[in-house]
Structure 1
């Protein structure tokens, strides 16, 4: 089987015999039921391939769709003029790049359609004139497809880069936003000449910025009808990749079911609507099936620089963002406020919907799968702590210690890791910040132990347990104290009855009292009771 890894051209995939997961029934529904759409999905999730598929459909290339669902649905196969703008592959951190790209597109189209170049210096005005004349000449309304519409803003978001406009200096971020705002206003002025408009991107910027003046697109990012428009569902895996999984199982010497479960844990878990249809990351899944190895393909393909910059403002509250219910307005619209990182983190694919509460219309957000959780938490941990020990190596050794019930080795590992953190990273002004530092550090480490069930701040009838780790053979209850004693921590476990829910469990139970020293920055006292 030929896997279209990194391929974005629908016609090449079909003509060269690569596997294509058929999304054309949804595409047919899309084009027949509306006119102007916006879709937000994470990077490498198939947005560009979707745009290419729409382009070939509107060009009337019926032969490419033979045997696909739309081949049975579409009867007319009309041909439309298509204008496709792709902002991928351009570096918009250089001033003037956005204006040059837009001018280049419109100039090329004016030449292709033999339309006299407009006199207006405003590229949007020339585009309106172009659309009008093409409509009049062909008798067909035009189709406009814009891929990664937001990249000119994301490239310069929170960089502080400046440009000169007239006699004034302004942020390049603001300049690019204004240019796009003016260009996208075209779609309101040229509405009568438009057959279909589709924009993709990572983020949905608030309507007071880029989309102001725009003939408002229908946002289908959380529309349950189009949850699976990008990505791969469980049913599609069974339809297209059963043989591939069998080959992978033979290579790894695992059962078919074991491979399916590993793929699910590593790459599944995305949800884009209230029906909570499980969506696998297509880039990672295809790479895993092709290589017959489970690795972090999507995460290691690159963390967006804008997200790294954003995390500088939010690196100490990741635990406050995950595992909580939110009103959709809190994460759907991005208002370019670096002090509110949740929408950007969600829309970039590092958090996803896990549950939907229909009574109050709120969504539970958390990491979609192990690949994202481990990669993202490692990124935050390295930036927040700058430890002298690699987190992934520490996790592997720590997992083995917990698997064997070796609390002494786990103590040594924890003490060593904390000791490797520079003093400047753990220096805090007051007791509350010092307590927060140790709590958050342990939270980050434990979120990386994904092979076991881990609870932090677990609510029980008598209070919150600092940490519970459950393996196949052991249960560990941790209580932490700052500048206290391990005995005091164990006494709290006893008095609050933290162990009571586990007394009938067949696994061996360890209560672990830990005291951290704010002076030394590591474990000062440690006691274990079985």
Structure 2
């Protein structure tokens, strides 16, 4: 029997009635609904938040038949039907002041028609309160409120502060209903990609429990290693057979590409469900998450900040940073963590520092590709892309001249002029290229007499690279010698090459380079 993968399906009812595979999260869900009332959950996009919300909706509507054979069936006995108000802020691009008002008006009108009332106000918050009163009176039961992507209007305008603040004010009034009508609310669950703005949007709601980094609910969304083996072992065997590799190798490759998201320092890593399901359906190790939307907003944020992108894969932060809602221009790390581009790699209880890094290969490759399109916009992307594996091979095989020829040709296709701090941006571009091709690259390696711009190490070779802007390759090599940058590697048996590179801001090309080895 062919397995049906629910790729892109966010309706619990459709999955259950359509015979699609469903990874059972209902035991965790039951614990959630039976031990609390107001919850907030932040997870990256395409991580199953909408499916979880849809599952909660079916549960609170008492649709018992949809849960047959699932864990919750042994816990729940009553299956009481409650009025459910479910609103999803995704699917709309909030670019004009009226966009949010139109979206809210459409949803509120549908609810008003359902419960037979006429709006007594134009304000969304006051209409929401009236609707909760009506739902409570008509059904005789408390109301369940489910909100998907609570902050998307604000997140769409992180670089448009004026419009973002306007949306924030509207949402603040709308969400205040949850506190005002507390006695008529049975349960409320809100999801979002980012916590940025949560503090101000939910001003005064001190009863909203944030479970985004609670160990107990770390696997509420996503697929754990245990679930992967329980639900997908047969699929992985088929995929391994098609690729003519062992099942163990297939598991490892899937883990490297899609696993690694950790939402608590003591939790196991979980897989991105969207990417994993696509990979098993297509039987390919693609970059599915990035194909659904590039992180242009994040790249735009990084353009406005002085944040050192070369430290992305080794960030040390305190706990409050992970939950931060401060200015993303001053510190984009909270946003990068909350949106899934960085995750928890380790935690030191003595220093109380978290170390962050890319979750997996898909995120790292996709994000570096997005960054490189900003720093280096190629006039011939396919030709430039073809040079990437050749650069890698040249470095691994100890052919620095070939590497530099490919690199020079790569920059010759660049139509974007590096601006601002040209030396720093050129260094960033070089770092991204080397990291993207899978090199062990270190930026600003400290020595007793200075800092090496770039150090690349392979199994058999070491490359010390010094960069100059509007100068000469000779001066770059001279600095390597005068500063003794090669001294730390004096006893290393690997072959060492010193490379001096001069970049011209006038021609936007590598003007000259020299190698000593």
* CA apart distance, 1:58: 0.9
Name the counterpart of 1:233.
224
Name the counterpart of 2:83.
81
Structure 2 vs 1, CA of residues 207 and 267 (structure 1 numbering), >3 Å: closer, same or farther?
closer
Match of 1:363 among 354, 365, 382: 354
- Structure 2 distance, partners of 1:184, 1:68, is 33
Structure 2 vs 1, CA of residues 445 and 315 (structure 1 numbering), >3 Å: closer, same or farther?
farther
Three-state SS of the structure 1 residue aligned to 2:200 is coil
* CA apart distance, 1:44: 0.8
TM-score calculated relative to the size of structure 1:
0.88
- Structure 2 distance, partners of 1:357, 1:461, is 28
Name the counterpart of 1:28.
30
Name the counterpart of 1:126.
127
- Structure 2 distance, partners of 1:487, 1:90, is 56
The answer on whether the counterparts of 2:4 and 2:20 sit within 8 Å (CA) in structure 1 is: yes
Name the counterpart of 1:9.
11
* CA apart distance, 1:371: 1.3
- 1:513 paired to 2:498: yes
The answer on whether the counterparts of 1:181 and 1:213 sit within 8 Å (CA) in structure 2 is: no
Residue ranges of structure 1 left out of the alignment (5+ in a row): 161-170, 504-508
Structure 2 vs 1, CA of residues 460 and 491 (structure 1 numbering), >3 Å: closer, same or farther?
closer
Name the counterpart of 1:412.
405
- Structure 2 distance, partners of 1:63, 1:499, is 71
Name the counterpart of 1:446.
434
- Structure 1 distance, partners of 2:80, 2:352, is 41
Name the counterpart of 2:460.
474
* CA apart distance, 1:270: 1.1
TM-score calculated relative to the size of structure 2:
0.90
Match of 1:41 among 32, 40, 43: 43
* CA apart distance, 1:315: 8.0
Three-state SS of the structure 2 residue aligned to 1:417 is helix
In the TM superposition, what are the counterparts of 1:26-175 in structure 2 within 5 Å? 26-114=28-116, 116-159=117-160, 171-175=162-166
- Structure 2 distance, partners of 1:197, 1:316, is 37
Mean alpha-carbon deviation: is it higher for 478-487 or for 123-132? 478-487
- Structure 1 distance, partners of 2:387, 2:141, is 62
Match of 2:424 among 425, 436, 443: 436
- Structure 1 distance, partners of 2:196, 2:455, is 39
Mean alpha-carbon deviation: is it higher for 149-158 or for 181-190? 149-158
Structure 2 vs 1, CA of residues 218 and 494 (structure 1 numbering), >3 Å: closer, same or farther?
closer
Name the counterpart of 2:314.
323
Match of 2:190 among 189, 195, 199: 199
Mean alpha-carbon deviation: is it higher for 383-392 or for 438-447? 383-392
Structure 2 vs 1, CA of residues 278 and 426 (structure 1 numbering), >3 Å: closer, same or farther?
same
* CA apart distance, 1:460: 7.4
Structure 2 vs 1, CA of residues 130 and 480 (structure 1 numbering), >3 Å: closer, same or farther?
same
The answer on whether the counterparts of 2:198 and 2:325 sit within 8 Å (CA) in structure 1 is: no
User: Per-residue CA shift, 1:380-437, capped at 9, x if unaligned?
Assistant: 1221232445353232221222343333211212232234445x72456xxxx45423
The answer on whether the counterparts of 1:493 and 1:511 sit within 8 Å (CA) in structure 2 is: no
Structure 2 vs 1, CA of residues 324 and 494 (structure 1 numbering), >3 Å: closer, same or farther?
closer
- Structure 2 distance, partners of 1:103, 1:124, is 11
Residue ranges of structure 2 left out of the alignment (5+ in a row): none
* CA apart distance, 1:207: 5.1
Mean alpha-carbon deviation: is it higher for 46-55 or for 490-499? 490-499
Structure 2 vs 1, CA of residues 412 and 134 (structure 1 numbering), >3 Å: closer, same or farther?
same
User: Per-residue CA shift, 1:269-307, capped at 9, x if unaligned?
Assistant: 211112142111111111111001111111111125533
- Structure 2 distance, partners of 1:179, 1:528, is 63
Name the counterpart of 2:233.
242
Mean alpha-carbon deviation: is it higher for 223-232 or for 85-94? 85-94
Mean alpha-carbon deviation: is it higher for 433-442 or for 217-226? 433-442
* CA apart distance, 1:333: 2.6
The answer on whether the counterparts of 2:396 and 2:461 sit within 8 Å (CA) in structure 1 is: no
Name the counterpart of 1:278.
269
Three-state SS of the structure 1 residue aligned to 2:512 is strand
